[in-house]
Amino acid sequence: MNLFDFIATVVVVTASGALAPGPLSFGILMQGSKQGARSGFSCAVGHTLVEFPLVLALAFGLLAATSQPMIKNIIGLVGGLGLIGFGILQIYETVKTRGNPSGTTKTSRLPASSIVLGFALTGLNPYFILWWLTIGSVLIVQALAFAAIVGVLIMYVSHVWMDYAFLSSLAYFAKKGKNIVGSKYYKLVLIAFGLILVYYGLSFMLDAIKA
């Protein structure tokens, strides 16, 4: 796998996690309606304060896996199943959701600081942890095989810019009174990424089986 293919895989696979509605995106809809794009960027900083140490911890924990074919195959199978599961769930939730999904968020309890908001809603989100333990672990193993710890840094930069771009945009549009999360086109994008996740999940599982 060359550098371009590696980055493209990371971007496509992790875009689903970055763009999927969740506690963080719903929270920033409320925060952004008052503070604009700056709050989205600050929220992404809080998100990174949780995510980057987790990625590094997983990377050093999985470092030995790059030399153990059986462990790599198990991670590939589990990660592939995770991708398929997340993809199907994303399609189901997107089709099922009607109207404005942000109404499920309690606005009165949101912290004043967007950095604290990003930190809290990331660290307390079990789906975030599960994503990195399954799908993310496959990407980390691929990154280690590609260029060791440098590969992990390339992988993370290829992923994290989407968090900053999406959360800042979400907050900006919330300030303008627009809810892109509830739009028809946004839902179509999520469904498309859900299908892509299923495709990559099958690919990861087939690669693990063939190895």
pLDDT tens across 151-198, in order?
Answer: 999 999 999 999 999 899 888 888 887 766 667 777 787 788 788 888
Q: What is the pTM of this model?
A: 0.80
pLDDT of 8 above 80: yes
Reported as a pLDDT band with limits 50, 70 and 90, residue 101 is very low
Q: Answer whether residue 108 shows pLDDT above 70.
A: no
Q: Name every residue whose Cβ is closer than 8 Å to that of residue 139 and which is 6 or more positions away in sequence.
A: 9, 10, 13, 14, 79, 155, 159
CB atoms within 10 A of CB 99: 7
Per the structure, how many domains does the chain have? 1
- From residue 183, alpha-carbon distances to 143, 166, 179, 187, 189 in Å are 35, 15, 7, 7, 10
Mean pLDDT of 125-150: 88
Please name which of 11, 4, 2 lies closest in space to residue 139, comparing C-alpha atoms.
11
* Structural domain boundaries, residue 182: 3-210
Q: Please, what is the average pLDDT of the chain?
A: 82
